[in-house]
Structure 1
């Protein structure tokens, strides 16, 4: 019931209880107002005021965001297809990570989309003329870094056999080469830029962005897997603080001790935003998408994945305040 009506109602109840408990512990929140959720939204208004330092009535609660915005403008019957890493290169047409191996419905395809026997995969990986390390991941359901493994051929081959046995759809990809300045945050992980876009009335809008990085010694960038995120301002510079998955604030990476200076500029940030705004136009059934993007030293933008369902909002509001403030009229109209 991943995107079912029942799951969303259960989520709304749980989120409401969580917000109310937080509000009781923070009684000042009862004095706040909220434009979209006059009763329960007041807790989000105060919570994100404390985190971002920006007082506003235009914050979105989790329950409103997932059920009254994302739930209304995204077609979840298509989300698994759009999120499927085995189909993503065909959907995007460019700027996707190449697929070295693509296992769909038990059939193995090579980099040229030719069907090959599964027994040939080990030899292909061991004799790859370009790549020493690979990423193997399930094609759907890799939130928090679940079912994502990185390593040389000898490490990847057992997971290939395991995922085949479990009848997963999965892909094997080369490692993405990231820009040196992005690698500074945490050299052991691919540190991606999360960009949220909103499409309506024939335009695609950049809503909010942040950098995601792996935790100490981590190879993946997932915040829920021990990593951190840092806000990116509209000019490409960083906020001077970051958050972990519990919204604990920090001013430096725990492994590299790299501080988050406000004069740091994310390389090719505008170019990344323009690429995902262009690609969003291909997703006509989805009004809001969160993109994980990387860029190399030459400015080539790679879309690591797109998230069309259950993609979080909290960190964006914690960094930047009411990120949908300029779109309130549209949001109100779809909820009349």
Structure 2
């Protein structure tokens, strides 16, 4: 029996309606970015409704609202992991607001303040700050715009730098900047300081291009591949909650998942998980650019020191109890 195009269209529409109805019943918002990213990795017909209902009861009891369980479904169907304790991003943001003073967030996100707020010499050296279109060097000594070229001519040990907006996040507009023969070069084009102002606005920072550990470099050499580490203060006791490694791809200089990078979990002893994922939920047994194998047993060197490092730094962050750190592995294996 042949089905007419009209009847086939009705069947298709009916299937779409039934699928959308099921998504609505389970609390999955199909208009959200996370669903769009993961929908091809999820089979709606195979959703374990009993498990999802258990997830909903757990979080409704604790937060008084229904959560979107799309990530729980993705993890179950792609990794065979059922864990109601997974915290969806929307709920994480709510919890983050509860533990962090939102009025102070602006100061803590300004990279031109990091050398003042974060008391460690193990952070990239800042060579030039632009703050409200005023310039500073050497721990906030004012410098005239006309003196910047002379300042960089006096830097003898480095010709490659990193330039980035000082008040944005997620790897936006992070670029490599070269200074040679009295000229700055950005993306293979000679640029003036005024042109940098046009591109980066009134607030940006030029800092050291650090040398990372050979292990991290072998994964993707053109990006500094950092460990995202989360620390939490509770009753004045600060603990390390979790970590994952972010790795760039395709020759990019930044490692953020939101700009195309991949992520891989780091266990509490520093061992990497056996596969990485990207923002669209794709799984990678090998790095898509360098073919570095995540199946081999790999450890972040001195990982206990890394945990102690971020816990110690958190003691200076007084207004935020929940802090995310991006920590590089230096060429000496130290954080």
State the TM-score, normalized to the length of structure 1. 0.78
Q: Is the 8 A contact 2:29 2:68 kept in 1?
A: no
Q: Is the 8 A contact 1:241 1:252 kept in 2?
A: yes
For residues 49 and 152 of structure 1, the distance between their equivalents in structure 2, rounded to whole angstroms, comes to 46
Give the corresponding residue for 1:73. 99
The reply to whether residue 115 of structure 1 matches residue 142 of structure 2 is yes
Once the 2 structures are TM-superposed, how far is the Cα of residue 184 of structure 1 from its aligned partner?
0.9
Once the 2 structures are TM-superposed, how far is the Cα of residue 82 of structure 1 from its aligned partner?
0.5
> What secondary structure sits across from 2:111 in the alignment?
coil
Change over 3 Å in CA distance of 1:51–1:178 after alignment to 2: same
Q: 1:171 aligns with which of 186, 196, 205?
A: 205
> What secondary structure sits across from 1:89 in the alignment?
helix
Q: 2:258 aligns with which of 207, 224, 227?
A: 224
The reply to whether residue 162 of structure 1 matches residue 195 of structure 2 is yes
Give the corresponding residue for 1:284. 318
* Structure 1, 149-158 or 91-100: larger mean CA deviation: 149-158
CA deviation map 1:2-46 (0-9, x unaligned):
xxxxxxxxxxx9968537896893562432222214743544433
Q: Is the 8 A contact 1:101 1:110 kept in 2?
A: yes
Once the 2 structures are TM-superposed, how far is the Cα of residue 187 of structure 1 from its aligned partner?
0.9
For residues 205 and 299 of structure 1, the distance between their equivalents in structure 2, rounded to whole angstroms, comes to 22
Q: Is the 8 A contact 2:28 2:68 kept in 1?
A: no
> What secondary structure sits across from 2:328 in the alignment?
strand
For residues 283 and 96 of structure 1, the distance between their equivalents in structure 2, rounded to whole angstroms, comes to 16
Once the 2 structures are TM-superposed, how far is the Cα of residue 126 of structure 1 from its aligned partner?
3.9
Once the 2 structures are TM-superposed, how far is the Cα of residue 51 of structure 1 from its aligned partner?
4.2
For residues 78 and 270 of structure 2, the distance between their equivalents in structure 1, rounded to whole angstroms, comes to 21
Which consecutive residues of structure 1, in runs of 5 or more, have no partner in the other structure? 1-12, 302-336
Once the 2 structures are TM-superposed, how far is the Cα of residue 291 of structure 1 from its aligned partner?
0.8
> What secondary structure sits across from 1:205 in the alignment?
strand
Give the corresponding residue for 2:175. 149
Q: Is the 8 A contact 2:59 2:67 kept in 1?
A: no
Q: 1:56 aligns with which of 74, 78, 83?
A: 83
Change over 3 Å in CA distance of 1:142–1:62 after alignment to 2: closer
Q: Is the 8 A contact 1:29 1:45 kept in 2?
A: no
The reply to whether residue 257 of structure 1 matches residue 291 of structure 2 is yes
CA deviation map 1:52-80 (0-9, x unaligned):
4321221212221112x112111121112
Q: Is the 8 A contact 2:67 2:91 kept in 1?
A: no
> What secondary structure sits across from 2:245 in the alignment?
strand
For residues 306 and 140 of structure 2, the distance between their equivalents in structure 1, rounded to whole angstroms, comes to 27
For residues 26 and 64 of structure 1, the distance between their equivalents in structure 2, rounded to whole angstroms, comes to 26
> What secondary structure sits across from 2:268 in the alignment?
coil
> What secondary structure sits across from 2:163 in the alignment?
strand
Give the corresponding residue for 1:332. none
Once the 2 structures are TM-superposed, how far is the Cα of residue 161 of structure 1 from its aligned partner?
2.4
CA deviation map 1:64-122 (0-9, x unaligned):
1112x112111121112111110011101113222110111221001242101011212
Give the corresponding residue for 1:30. 49
Q: Is the 8 A contact 2:28 2:70 kept in 1?
A: no
Give the corresponding residue for 1:192. 226
CA deviation map 1:148-168 (0-9, x unaligned):
110311215727423434642
Where in structure 1 do 4 or more consecutive aligned residues deviate above 4 Å?
Answer: 13-17, 19-24
Once the 2 structures are TM-superposed, how far is the Cα of residue 233 of structure 1 from its aligned partner?
0.9
Once the 2 structures are TM-superposed, how far is the Cα of residue 289 of structure 1 from its aligned partner?
1.3
State the TM-score, normalized to the length of structure 2. 0.78
Q: Is the 8 A contact 1:15 1:62 kept in 2?
A: no
Q: Which has the larger radius of gyration?
A: 2
Q: 1:87 aligns with which of 105, 113, 119?
A: 113
